[in-house]
Structure 1
Amino acid sequence: MTVVIFIRHGQSTSNVSKILSHDTNSYPLTEEGIMQAKEAGKELSKIKVEKIYTSPVLRAYQTALIIGESLGIFPIVDERLRERYLGELNNTTFDPSDHWKLKMLKKQLEVKGLESWEDMTRRMRNFIESVVNKNNNVIVAVSHSDPIRAIVAYFLKLDDISGWGIRIPNASFTILKCNNANSCEILSIGSPVITTQVLSKLNVNVKIS
């Protein structure tokens, strides 16, 4: 059994400026984002974490470094956790009320070069397959909103439209308990903390402080 704790990066300058970006080296964490990452590290100190994996994108990597400092673990960069490739939308600003994703799903908007939901789900599934084992361990994976939504929707047997209401806030915890790569129980989605109820479900290899 493997527990996979997905964490969305902390608040970044792109979040504040409402900029869409998959760039690797742009848009660092804000002061608020740094504090969020520190709080996430404190939450994770309740659990014995074996490894931390992270998207190479700066805002995620910074989040993973801060969490890793709290836990004494250096993060491992994994390209499969990267931000959704945004095609022609990269580095454009957006209006939250405009719902460009919904327009795209309804075929009212075509986005050239946008990574498909299926491709994003495939790489996140591949990540799960590579880390799940029988050793009762816990890993952390720092990623982004859409990739985390994609893997949650997959295990809930939802497509992009059906999973539209899934929300992954900054520095939140989405926790999967996996017996194997095809059998994962979702214990939390976008939670601000790791609750006592979730901790009680995390079995023998998880140490509660």
Structure 2
Amino acid sequence: MTVILLRHGVSTSNVAHTLAGRSAGIDLTDRGREQAQALVQRLGSLPIEHIVCSPLLRCQRTVAPLADKLGIDVEPDERLLEVDYGDWTGRPLGELISEPLWKVVQRHASAAVFPGGEGLAQVQFRVVSALREHDAALARKHGGEVLWVACTHGDIIKSVIADAYGMHLDLFQRIVVEPASISVVRYTPTAPFVWRVNDTGSDLSTLAPPRDPAARSGPVPGGETGNTVSTDNEGVEHPDSHTE
């Protein structure tokens, strides 16, 4: 089972350099809407069977054109919501940098609990559990491998990738997930395999479930995966950490 982890496009909070969190009404910018439309060309020809998304507006707007193209109803899932940043929600990033908790978030994320909100370890548990639950349900429903999309937020995706890598959550800030990027995890009975991270524009045809059973078990000796995978991150701005 292969999940495409899609981060929402550039939002009004991204350009304002504030921590949107779960604030209502945060929409895509013109650039974000362009990115959402571009996803139709990037993903529209893939055999995607299901789309799940965070209920927040910026995720719904991002995935809507793709869902329309594929004729798929989007399933909202509150477990894919952005981190509950509590009292930090809506504050400027430049102001938050001076908070003592900022260094904890950057260096010891597993211990970080946002005042009035949730902890990052709690976040990772809820989202990984949700993805695995969707993955198992789709496997039962389709009786085989399925390619599906989960549209959510930057820190959420980074925590999933860290889990798939077997990386301690304290290191997850080393992972970059830009607006409208895709990251891909293929779950198998023995282990998850990370196929792409922060991909913003390359050919995605190799994400279709492989027909050769030998290619389904993950990497083979020599480091190959059975398909050619390339990543193209040209032309995309590097967002600040924690811009939702």
User: Which one-letter code corresponds to 2:94 in the other structure?
Assistant: D
Structure 2 counterpart SS, 1:50: strand
* Secondary structure of residue in 1 paired with 2:172: coil
Residue segments in structure 1 that go unaligned for 5+ positions in a row = none
State the SS of the aligned residue for 2:174.
coil
For each residue in 1:24-49, what CA deviation from the matched residue of structure 2 results, as whole angstroms up to 9, or x when unmatched?
Answer: 53210111001101112211123110
Query: Quick check: 71-80 or 28-37, which moved more?
Result: 71-80
Instruction: Tell me the TM-score normalised to structure 2 length.
Output: 0.74
- Normalization by structure 1: what TM-score? 0.86
Instruction: Name whichever structure is richer in helix by fraction.
Output: 2
**How far does residue 130 in structure 1 lie from its aligned partner after superposition?**
1.2
Aligned match of 1:199 = 206
2:5 counterpart SS class: strand
- Say if 1:10 and 1:152 are closer, same or farther in 2 by CA, change over 3 A: same
Query: What pairs with 1:8-157 in structure 2 (closer than 5 Å)?
Result: 8-23=7-22, 25-95=24-94, 98=97, 102-105=102-105, 111-132=114-135, 133=139, 135-157=144-166
Report the secondary structure of 2:45's partner residue: coil
Residues 171-206 of structure 1 deviation map (CA, whole Å, 9 limit, x = unaligned): 1010011124x621100011113535x71674139x
C-alpha spacing 1:184/1:96, structure 2 compared with 1 (3 Å): farther
**Equivalent-residue separation in structure 2 for 1:124 and 1:110 (angstroms):** 16
What is the RMSD computed on CA atoms of the aligned residues? 2.5
Once the 2 structures are TM-superposed, how far is the Cα of residue 99 of structure 1 from its aligned partner?
8.2
* Cα drift, residue 83 of structure 1: 0.5
In the other structure, the counterpart of 2:176 is 167
**Aligned-partner residue type, residue 54 of structure 1:** C
Residues 1:170 and 1:118: Cα distance change in structure 2 (over 3 Å): same
Partners of 2:22 and 2:83 within 8 A in 1? no
- The number of equivalent residue pairs is 201
Cα deviation per residue 1:12-69 (whole Å; 9 max; x = unaligned)? 1011111112235321011100110111221112311001100001101111212212
More strand by share: 1
Contact kept, 8 Å, 1:5 with 1:174, in 2: the verdict is: yes
Q: Which structure has the larger Rg?
A: 2
Looking at structure 2, the residues matched to 111 and 129 of structure 1 have their Cα atoms a distance apart, in angstroms, of 26
Following TM superposition, the consecutive aligned residue runs of length 4 or more in structure 1 with deviations greater than 3 angstroms are 96-102
C-alpha change, 1:102 and 1:88, in structure 2 (3 Å) is closer
Counterparts of 2:23 and 2:40, CA distance in 1: 23
More relative contact order, 1 or 2 (CA 8 Å, 6+ apart): 1
